Amino acid sequence: MLVLVAPGQGAQTPGFLTPWLELPGLADRLSAWSDVVELDLIAYGTTADADAIRDTAVAQPLLVAASLAAAEALGAKPDLLAGHSVGELAAAALAGVITPEQALALVRERGRAMAKAAAVTKTGMTAVLGGVDVLEALDKHGLTPANINGAGQIVAGGTLEQLAAFKEEPPVRARLMPLSVAGAFHTVHMAPAVEELRRAAEGLTPQDPGVKLLSNADGAVVTSGAAFVERLINQVSNPVRWDLCMETMAAEGVTAMIELLPGGTLTGLAKRALKGVDTVALKTPDDLDAARELTK
As a whole number, the mean pLDDT across the chain is 96
Confidence of residue 296 (pLDDT cuts 50, 70, 90): confident
**Residues 136-182: pLDDT tens digits?**
999 999 999 999 999 899 999 999 999 999 999 999 999 999 987 78
Same domain, 161 and 194: no
The CATH number assigned to the domain holding 101 equals 3.40.366.10
Same domain, 147 and 255: no
Would you state the torsion angle of the CA atoms of residues 164, 167, 171, 172, taken in this order, to the nearest 10 degrees? -160
Domain boundary among 178, 196, 212: 178
Same domain, 114 and 216: yes
Same domain, 44 and 138: no
Expressed as residue numbers, the domain containing 144 is 123-178
Question: What does the pLDDT read at residue 209?
Answer: 98
Question: What does the pLDDT read at residue 10?
Answer: 87
Domain boundary among 158, 178, 198: 178
- The Cβ of residue 83 has, within 10 Å, a number of other Cβ atoms equal to 32
Residue 176 near residue 116 (C-beta atoms within 8 A): no
Percent of the chain with pLDDT over 90: 97
Q: How far from the centroid of its chain's Cα atoms is residue 190's Cα?
A: 16
Same domain, 204 and 96: yes
Residues 6+ apart with CB under 8 A from 93: 64, 68, 99, 100, 102, 103
**Residues 223-239: pLDDT tens digits?**
999 999 999 999 999 99
As for how many domains the chain has, the answer is: 2
pLDDT at 48 over 90: yes
Same domain, 70 and 212: yes
Class of residue 275 by CB neighbours under 10 A (exposed 0-12, middle 13-18, buried 19+) = exposed
Same domain, 18 and 88: yes
Question: What does the pLDDT read at residue 291?
Answer: 98
Question: What does the pLDDT read at residue 27?
Answer: 97
**Residues 77-97: pLDDT tens digits?**
999 999 999 999 999 999 999
- The Cβ of residue 119 has, within 10 Å, a number of other Cβ atoms equal to 12
Same domain, 101 and 129: no
The predicted model gives 181-199 an average pLDDT of: 94
Same domain, 289 and 273: yes
Question: What does the pLDDT read at residue 112?
Answer: 96
Question: What does the pLDDT read at residue 192?
Answer: 94
- The Cβ of residue 209 has, within 10 Å, a number of other Cβ atoms equal to 21
Which residues are marked as active site?
Answer: 85, 186
Domain boundary among 161, 178, 195: 178
CA distance 217 to 241: 6
Question: What does the pLDDT read at residue 193?
Answer: 96
Question: What does the pLDDT read at residue 181?
Answer: 79
Same domain, 198 and 168: no
Confidence of residue 132 (pLDDT cuts 50, 70, 90): very high
Question: What does the pLDDT read at residue 37?
Answer: 98
130: three-class secondary structure by DSSP: strand
Same domain, 137 and 236: no
The CATH number assigned to the domain holding 159 equals 3.30.70.250
Confidence of residue 5 (pLDDT cuts 50, 70, 90): very high
Same domain, 169 and 227: no
The predicted model gives 129-139 an average pLDDT of: 96
**Residues 20-39: pLDDT tens digits?**
999 999 999 999 999 999 99
